[in-house]
Chains A and B, each alone.
Chain A
Amino acid sequence: MLQKMKDFAHGALVPVLLLMLWEAGSRAGLFSEVLLPSPTAVAIKWWAYLMPGQPQEAGQSTLAWMFSGELPHDAYSSLFRVIAGFLIGAGLALPFGLLMGASTRIYALFNPLMQILRPIPPIAYIPLAILWFGLGNPPSFFLIAIGAFFPVLMNTIAGVRQVDGIYLRAARNLGVNQWTMFTRVILPAATPYILAGVRIGIGTAFIVVIVSEMIAVNDGLGFRILEAREFMWSDKIIAGMITIGLLGLFIDTAVSRLNNHLLRWHRGLEH
């Protein structure tokens, strides 16, 4: 316990020092208040952004009211888009990657196309996404799905291909059929790779969601910081950026927890 607190204090040292320097600089009038507001101004704005804008209405539950502020709404919208887009992209990539990894014929058929499409950044699909899907959530889902698709696909293919032949031999010796081989041997043996792809894919999805919100929707963290720029609210821009950072950290921690649970059998993992 004491060691944990020590570690925490150690890790907090640099950020806290930086914040103090920044605050001191602001108070001394070194930075323009419009371009770089002080940490306290940002913190106050962040709090206002987090808290409910309206008094609690009759019949509204306290919990719903607590989360009725602009920030919770934006964070929820962004998170929802990340998850929906990721599920579409990864949901397509996983079976496709399993097939491409297991069959050299299917691989030879589709690999050239994948190699051409893969280097195109999801951002480059923005014009098409708007043409095809108009405004609102659908173009966001499309862009995020593309961002998540390729990392999961490539890692699934690699994962299936690296499955140690000894497991296949042992399974054949036990008399498994094709389907069981796939679901109970190849798929679990490939999970370390697949989950590494999931983690990269979620990261890409999170980058893409912020960009996609800057073009086609009117809520979400990406939209909010662009909107704040129109009014020169740099305190709100920074507050929004910090929220993006916190949400990203939350998502990555959740995925990492899931990884540790699913890979608890895997060598070299601490738990």
Chain B
Amino acid sequence: MAQIHINNVQKVFKTPGEDVVALKDINLEIKAGEFVCLLGPSGCGKSTLLNAVAGFALPSGGEITVEGRKIIAPGPDRGMVFQEYALFPWMTVAQNIAFGLEVQKKDKAEIELTVNQLLELLHLKDFRDRFPKDLSGGMRQRVAIARVLALDSPIMLMDEPFGALDALTRRNLQDELLRIWNKLGKTILFVTHSIEESIYLADRIVVMTYRPGTVKRDQYVDMPRPRDPSSAAFNDLKRELGRLVMEEQQRHANDELKLAAVD
């Protein structure tokens, strides 16, 4: 029994010129505890699909259910980590992590306990009273992850969370994420355009096509972790997925050139 059902999902954006079909006939079933990457070039609708699961922008057709309930709005059962971190800059690290729990009117002592555990888990103890402006990008994303973990939601949605980080910080946070995922067993739906990142992290990679966004390949990754990006198996898969993604990227590039020619 899958946890997230994505049934025949369509998403059409109405624009003055023409309607853009961002998602078409998407069907996916995601099991509890699965780590799924949505992979594809810009404009393939991977973020649109994630936002639909989050409840920020509902599909134009079809439906998404989580644990059998249809998604109609955002909610703390599906915590989201944004590429831009989206930490509240007027709150300290600890206040940011506690905020979701205060919203749920949790007991003070309980909040304090959870916040301390998460500060510990994400190695943020020394930063508890800092404001986000004083943190590096990697540290900020740790706080954003802790803020979502505080909700104790079964599902974690991540929209290119490490896209703005340098390569070393990125690898470091990928390892942290895997460690946390192993420990807490959440379902993770992770959007990225990095082929290597998706192979390094995911149980399953969903490659999407460029406009309209459909599922091009639903690929399970059968490699033990920690995965070695220099291994032969890793690179075979990387080559294979790279070919798929580049086909779509080429269509994206052609479209952009066409648009530029019209201007």
Contacts and interface: CB of A to CB of B under 8 A. Distances in A.
B234 interface: no
B61 interface: no
Interface string A237-271: 00000000000000000000000000011110000
A172 B75 CA distance: 7
B79 interface: yes
Nearest to A268: B133
B181 interface: no
A188 B87 CA distance: 13
Contacts of A266: 89-90, 133
Which applies to chain B's interface (DSSP): helix, strand, loop or mixed? loop
Given A174-B151, A264-B131, 7 more contacts: A166-B82, A170-B82, A170-B87, A170-B88, A191-B90, A266-B90, A266-B133
* Chain A CB within 10 Å, residue with most, of B73, B90, B147: B90
Which applies to chain A's interface (DSSP): helix, strand, loop or mixed? helix
Interface of A: 166-167, 169-177, 180, 184-185, 188-189, 191, 264-267
14 contacts: A166-B84, A167-B88, A172-B56, A173-B78, A174-B79, A174-B103, A174-B147, A189-B90, A191-B90, A265-B90, A265-B132, A266-B133, A267-B89, A267-B133
B56 A169 contact: yes
A206 B114 CA distance: 49
Given A188-B88, A189-B90, A173 B131 contact: no
B154 interface: no
B74 A173 contact: yes
B189 interface: no
Contacts of A188: 88, 90
B76 A166 contact: no
Contacts of A264: 131
Contacts of A176: 103
A170 B76 CA distance: 10
Contacts of A169: 56, 74, 80, 82, 86
Interface of B: 54, 56, 73-76, 78-80, 82, 84, 86-92, 99-100, 103-104, 131-133, 147, 151
B88 to A, nearest CB: 6
A115 to B, nearest CB: 30
B88 A185 contact: yes
A159 to B, nearest CB: 13
Contacts of B104: 175
A175 B104 CA distance: 8
B31 to A, nearest CB: 23
B133 A174 contact: no
Contacts, number: 64
Q: Sorted from nearest, which 4 A-B pairs have the closest CB atoms?
A: A170-B86, A175-B76, A174-B100, A188-B90
Given A185-B88, A189-B90, A173 B103 contact: no
A240 B145 CA distance: 59
Contact of B74 (A172, A177, A185, A267): A172
B153 to A, nearest CB: 10
A267 B89 CA distance: 9
Contacts of B132: 265
A209 to B, nearest CB: 32
A264 B91 CA distance: 10
Contacts of B82: 166, 169-170
A168 to B, nearest CB: 10
Contact of B76 (A167, A174, A180, A184): A174
B90 A175 contact: no
A115 B193 CA distance: 48
Nearest to B151: A174
Contacts of B99: 174, 184
A175 B80 contact: no
Contacts of A191: 90
Contacts of A173: 54, 56, 74-76, 78-80
B131 A265 contact: yes
Contacts of B76: 173-175
Contacts of B84: 166
